[in-house]
Structure 1
Amino acid sequence: MPVVDKTIQTRHAEIRLSETSGKGLPILMLHGSGGARQMFAKQLSSPLAEIHRMVAIDLPGHGQSSDAFDPAATYTISGLAAAVADVLEQLGIKRALVYGWSLGGHVAMELTASHPAVAGLMLTGAPPVARGPLGLLRGFHTHWDLLLASKRSYSERDAERFEQLCFGVGADPAFLDMIRRADGRVRTNVFRSMMLGAGADQKRVAENAEVPVAMVNGADDPFVRLGYVAGLSYRTLWDGRCHVIAGAGHAPFWTAAEIFNPLLFRFVRHVMEREFESGRRERKTAGAA
């Protein structure tokens, strides 16, 4: 399946993206802090991409996208979600399944709260936290390494440590370059905005979502409190449980793609079936009227 790269001009930044030519329900992939769209290579090259229009973007300040035109406005969860919404609208995508990893997961929850395009939400490495510092403490392990998520300038040692925490030993060498490239203002501004309680209450978003919500995490995630994630009262939790991939860490879509991809495939099918049934009910109601 050929992957096409393009750049889109938005109000927030010049956004670089990759997309496949599948005709099925679009799947939007949002990477984490220090990441880029190439991290989803194992999904963009999977059979799923032959069926569905998969779109992976570089968030503002990451990868081949430009830094934000107005960092103070864009480098928040709501600002990043607004940039993603611009991309969806320019691509003409009315409904999509949204997959978010780490920072991308928090952006995906904000998007779910503010934009009607989200038909299904899959999250990895992104605990749905309530607003403010107490919410963050409940969702994340508190240790020194967590401070890397809010540090503006990385030394080479910081970058290497962050790569190891996210991908373990033997990651793609290009990932380290992605971490080096990332605009450090994203880390500091997003962390500050979440500490101050800006944006949607993500705990409520995940618990009360009207669309299906899939939780897929690695058993050895160094950042996320899996007990917290499993203990939330989800209204539309897919499969009725949170999926945990044994032997995987923060990025199971990369380190355990052979397990992750079939889960994504099943979730996409579930969302499509739900969308079909919803459309059928709407047509039936319209016909009766």
Structure 2
Amino acid sequence: MPVAHQDRTLAAAGMICGYAMLIGYTDNYVRVIAQEHGLWQFHFTRTVMALALLGLLVPLLGLRLRPVNLRAVVARSLIHGLAMVIYFGALAFLPVAIVAAGLFTAPIFVLLISRFAYGHAIGPVRILAVAVGFVGVLLVLGPEAVSGASAAAVLPVLAGALYALGNVATREWCPEESAETLLAGFFATLGLFGALGMVLLTLAPLVAPVGPDGFLMRGWVMPNGPFLLWTFVQAAGSLLGVGMMIRAYQITDAGRASVIEYVILPASAFWSWTLWGELLAPMAVGGMVLIVAAGSMIALRAGAGEPVAPQA
């Protein structure tokens, strides 16, 4: 039976939680990478490592990389890649809280795209779950996420809209693609953007501040041991984690999966506390409770036999 006609929300929720724990761990070490190296070199190097690992796994596990619909895979990869470039680019001149809040508007856009582009029904439970989850996100991010916004704050919202479109495309455009095919497209696109960024910064170099503040403005830097180690950990973790996330979007409705994906914030906070001893304010803890509640509403509703909207 084609993947597009199956809906396994509880299995998808488990995959997204696994993805969140993996990505939450690996992303905490970006601060180590950012000490002396740049974002574009990181994307390019991580892509080379990830594709090399994927190439080793293909014959061992009998994976299929050949796309069923090349145009759909390329379009989805470009959309997701552009979303990430805009997101990281906005970090250069906007507070992290505002950028993150913008990206986490994605579940709202998923519901709007699903409803108005594909005619899927969106019930009151899902609408409430999106609202509860987004309020939780704002509480986790703090007052900065809802104050100080300007016209430039449209950029992370645009990233959220593109990220949402890419997530909808995973199920609507690429239902018969293997997760490894979509993984390869995703990493290849980010690697291409990374290479372009390094070329531009070589032709028109910028004076990058010392430490993490110069992450976005650095071009090529001679790799050192910590950079290679943690970029490899990122490549391996992302390969598995993003693969789980892609598969989750293939086996359940994108509107459900996008709300459950809010769990990435509590997962990241857990690893920040475990690895670096960073504690959260009570308001942020309350926000995480709301995030977990939003995901649980979706998962429990599906487990109780919520009708599945017909797929295009």
Q: TM (normalized to structure 2)?
A: 0.24
**Structure with the larger strand share:** 1
Please say which structure displays the higher CA radius of gyration: 2
Pick the structure with more helix per residue: 2
